[in-house]
Amino acid sequence: MGAGTEPAEARCDAAEGRVYLDHNATTPLAPEAAQAVQDAMHQAWGNPSSSHPAGRKAKELISSARESLARMVGGRPEDIVFTSGGTEANNMVIHTACRHFRESQARPGDSWGTPHIVTSSVEHDSIRLPLEQLVKESLAEATFVAVSPRSGRAEVDDVLAAIRPTTCLVSIMLANNETGVIMPVTELSQRVHALNQQRAAEGLPRILVHTDAAQMIGKGRVDVQELGVDYLTIVGHKFYGPRIGALYVRGPSTTTPLHPMLFGGGQERSFRPGTENTPMIAGLGQAAELVSKNWEAYEAHMRDVRDYLEARLEASFGKQRIHLNSHFTGSKRLCNTSNFSILGRGLQGRRVLSRCKMLLASVGAACHSEKGDRPSSILLSCGIPHDVAQNALRLSVGRDTTRADVDLVVQDLVQAVAQLDQDQAP
């Protein structure tokens, strides 16, 4: 984990005297993944659909990457469909669930009504916004289950209570990008599976289960057999891979429905046509190999550095002045994520970051960075008071973050807050 393994980007930041602690937004490309991308560009430039050697070389690389991704999540290679990223994978699941609901009606003229989808109030926009759009167009109904302010989780009983006869999909993220709270997806899948057996006897539609695992991969155990889900979203740039993704589907079109959103040349078994992006797929496969081999070491290292960060914050500012927004009784959280507020007037997260000379971090999800000083809706959903949520900072450590980096960051925060306190002084 030493300096020798640092990605080029991390070294570059260090040279500029900056410390990057925004790994939940994106990660630098692992050198091994960057090498795989480069090698594929030079050596596997053929069209994977061509039968000559240049095409076969590209096709072999794609097959190898598919195996690597399957191994990483405990699935089979045929269960992996490459996509442009997490947003496309999430939209594909929602599209599939609604279409499957309509096509499953026993006889022409039968109608179960409008498809209904259950999700949580803290999902990524690539789940929330497609659902809101479908609701607006009267093509679906959606329930956004509030997370418990006690646990920060979407509780299984609350999710099940939202299910209706017309429910066709339950989509709950594996871990939240802002708080790091890990959701009870395994238990949820077990309960939905039992419910589906009951529903089948009653002639009701099957409920499909999806989890967006963007934040969990590379930071903890992800095993689709253990999770019991039908779909799982994989996002390369969250685990030191390139900016493409994949969707795990438990037996696409056999055990579990999958409907394409695009139509074209038949690539990816027609689930996701378009000439494959061989270099990025090769890079994704290499990033997956690193996760399979090293995730336990990554997790232990990041947890150690994150815990050290929280201890240093409390020691430097005093326990009374630090509110740990991601500490919920009985809930597990991602090993690398610390969401906290430095309490005091005029210490909004954005203002604190603007006075930092070294720290590169965010106040929440990168996708919401244009929302000014409004506190994170996710923190408010978790029961964090408005004035505390407004001061929130989300620091997410990476594979190469050291305790020395943490010391620099805490010093930087101390000087930033001192400046802002001085500005407030009469």
Backbone angle region of 346, left / alpha / beta, with phi > 0 → left and psi within -120 to 50 → alpha: left
* Token pair for 53: 């050697």
Residue tagged active-site, from 98, 168, 335, 367: 367
Place of tokens 């609701």: 135
Please say if 382 is a catalytic residue: no
* Token pair for 55: 């095409």
Give the residue among 181, 189, 180, 185 at the shortest CA–CA distance from 208: 189
d(CA 390, CA 393): 9
Measured CA distances, 19 to 326, 359, 400 (Å): 22, 5, 11
If one counts every other C-beta atom within 10 angstroms of the C-beta of residue 351, the result is 18
Q: Are 416 and 365 in contact (CB under 8 A)?
A: no
If one counts every other C-beta atom within 10 angstroms of the C-beta of residue 239, the result is 28
Which of the 8 DSSP states describes residue 20?
A: E
Give the residue among 339, 267, 318, 208 at the shortest CA–CA distance from 49: 267
Residue 234, judged by CB atoms within 10 A of its CB (0-12, 13-18, 19+), counts as buried
Residue 227 makes CB contacts below 8 A (sequence gap 6+) with 174, 185, 186, 189, 211
- Positions marked catalytic: 367
